[in-house]
Amino acid sequence: MKDVLAAGTATGIGSMPGGDAREAAKVAAEAVPALPFLAELPARGPGADMVGRTLGLLVELYARVEPSGWRFGDRPGRDTRRAKAWLGEDLDALEEFAQGYEGPLKVQAMGPWSLAASVELRNGEAALRDPGACRDLAVSLAEGLRAHLADVRRRVPGATVLLQLDEPSLTAVLRGQVGTASGYQTYRAVDRGTVEGLLRDVIDAAGAPVLVHSCAPAVPFALLRRAGVSAVSFDFSLLTESEWDAFGEAVENGTVLFTGVVPGTDAPLSDPAGSVGGVRALWRRLGLAPEALATSVAVTPSCGLAGASPAYARAALTHCVKAARSLVDNPE
């Protein structure tokens, strides 16, 4: 991914506030011009949320909204049609504001493990409980993502499309911390080799550089690197001292790190250089090459901006750009 991204890149995570697709696409294209992204607007309701949007991409698998959440069904229904319609609206807006654009462009979808933890089988238990269901889900997702990325390339022919897989539940899957339908138990931890292998299958099938995003603690950097990701996106404030070595190893192995350093909800914005001060300090502590900082680190909000005000969302993205630029101007 380093050969695709410019030094000092900034971008958004994906979700934006409100329900105006054109306004969100305009901000996502203008505020972070080095890496614009396909905006998501979960405030519109089920089908525009991260889970429903991705379920709408699946091939020959369908889901509907139940009181308990998303559940697989036998045929496409109004919830699937609504998810597809909203995605189409967002893609139309992206196409409008990205006319003539040439460069990297990011789109997002939920990864296979967080999706398996979030959608129910017909018996009301999460797909995560059934290894066969997890495999079927990953195959369907891979097919759907290939078609989705091809559509984006057709709409924005000058773009180099990057795929972000959102995996907020990945650590919980690995640790056996995903709750059952009853809420009294948790599903068994999934073997790390199985998690890595299924992720690798989806990444290999995508045919595009892939980054994985998680704003949960304890992101498994090494596992993701082995699975073939080009970049990892995470909330930098959650990085603990025990993970510093994993951070450094990722950098040394060529993984780009999308560091979430700007609050995702309305908050005072500090000096841009101060926002990445912790990243710069850790870089020095680990003895990493200063000249590699701006090409190895991208700057993002700590998580999605769906809970922010529209004015703050634009300001936060602009702040990310200035913070990323400070890494170029002052790497030490």
From residue 200, alpha-carbon distances to 87, 101, 112, 248 in Å are: 26, 30, 10, 22
Report d(CA 88, CA 86) in Å as an integer. 5
Q: Which residue range forms the structural domain that includes residue 273?
A: 21-329
Mean pLDDT of the chain: 95
5 is a domain residue: no
- Three-state secondary-structure class, residue 267: coil
172 is a domain residue: yes
**Other CB atoms within 10 A of residue 240 CB:** 8
Q: What is the pLDDT of residue 182?
A: 78
pLDDT at position 311 over 90: yes
1 is a domain residue: no
284 is a domain residue: yes
The answer to whether the beta carbons of residues 138 and 201 sit under 8 Å apart is yes
Report d(CA 239, CA 220) in Å as an integer. 11
Query: How do residues 67-107 score in pLDDT, each as one tens digit?
Result: 889 999 988 889 999 999 999 999 999 999 999 999 999 99
pLDDT at position 331 over 80: no
* CATH code for the domain of 147: 3.20.20.210
Q: How many independent structural domains does the chain possess?
A: 1
**Phi–psi pair at 74, nearest 5 degrees:** -85, -25
265 is a domain residue: yes
Query: How do residues 180-197 score in pLDDT, each as one tens digit?
Result: 987 789 999 999 999 999
Query: How do residues 233-260 score in pLDDT, each as one tens digit?
Result: 999 999 999 999 999 999 999 999 999 9
Rounded to the nearest 5 degrees, what angle is found at the Cα of 272, between the Cα atoms of 307 and 107? 50
215 is a domain residue: yes
13 is a domain residue: no
**Phi–psi pair at 115, nearest 5 degrees:** -65, -45
Q: What is the pLDDT of residue 326?
A: 95
Cα atoms found within 13 Å of the Cα of residue 324, Cβ hemisphere only: 30
Report d(CA 78, CA 85) in Å as an integer. 10
